[in-house]
Amino acid sequence: MKKTLLFIAFLTLSLNANAQYVNVWKDGKLTFETKQKIDTEGDEDETDYDGENDVLGINMQIVTINQNVDKNSNTLKLVSREGCKNMYMAIIEDGRPFLPNYMSHYTVCRDGEDYVLNAVIYREDNKKAYDINLYCYDISVKQGVKILESFKFLD
């Protein structure tokens, strides 16, 4: 009996340790997964999203692009690097594309002691670019990249 109770307790803790919370930005029509819920406190609308929890912060903006973006160019890489420079952060590492069905790229920056992933997603279908700043307060860069890889569009 004691072994059964220990097994059930262990199983419950294991499931909770791997649980994911799906955060929804309704106006931005996208979702992303984190281990803890993101608190937005009403800081979201059609083009802006700001939120955080104890381990990360996230800021997103949607910008309409009125020109075609070449899939084979380094445009998104340059844009994500430029975002780090505009925030006066040191560029630590050039990232890579992170969403298989969309043009995307991230760059790892450093803000004091914290790492920031400055990412860009471009959607050809609606000519919108999603500028994302993911602040890694108490998560690793690798965990931050997993969050970026979890992005899904609702339309």
Query: pLDDT tens digits for 41-62?
Result: 777 888 999 999 999 999 999 9
Beta bridge partners of 133: 59, 118
| Cβ proximity of 99 and 129 under 8 Å | no
**Structure tokens, 149:** 């890889």
**Residue 154 in this model has a pLDDT that exceeds 60:** yes
Type of residue found at 15 = L
Flag whether pLDDT at 10 surpasses 80.
no
Residue 109: pLDDT over 90: yes
Q: What is the mean pLDDT of the chain?
A: 87
User: Which positions ≥6 away from 53 have C-beta within 8 Å?
Assistant: 34, 36, 37, 38, 39
pLDDT of residue 44: 81
In the prediction, which pLDDT does 120 show?
96
Locate all alpha helices (DSSP H) within the chain, ordered by sequence. 2-17, 75-86, 141-149
Give phi and psi for 142, each to the nearest 5: -60, -45
All structural domains of the chain, each given as residue ranges with its CATH number in brackets, are: 20-153 (3.40.1000.10)
Q: Is the pLDDT of residue 8 over 60?
A: no
Question: Which of the 8 DSSP states describes residue 42?
Answer: T
Given a contact cutoff of 8 angstroms between Cβ atoms, the answer to whether 121 and 104 are in contact is: yes
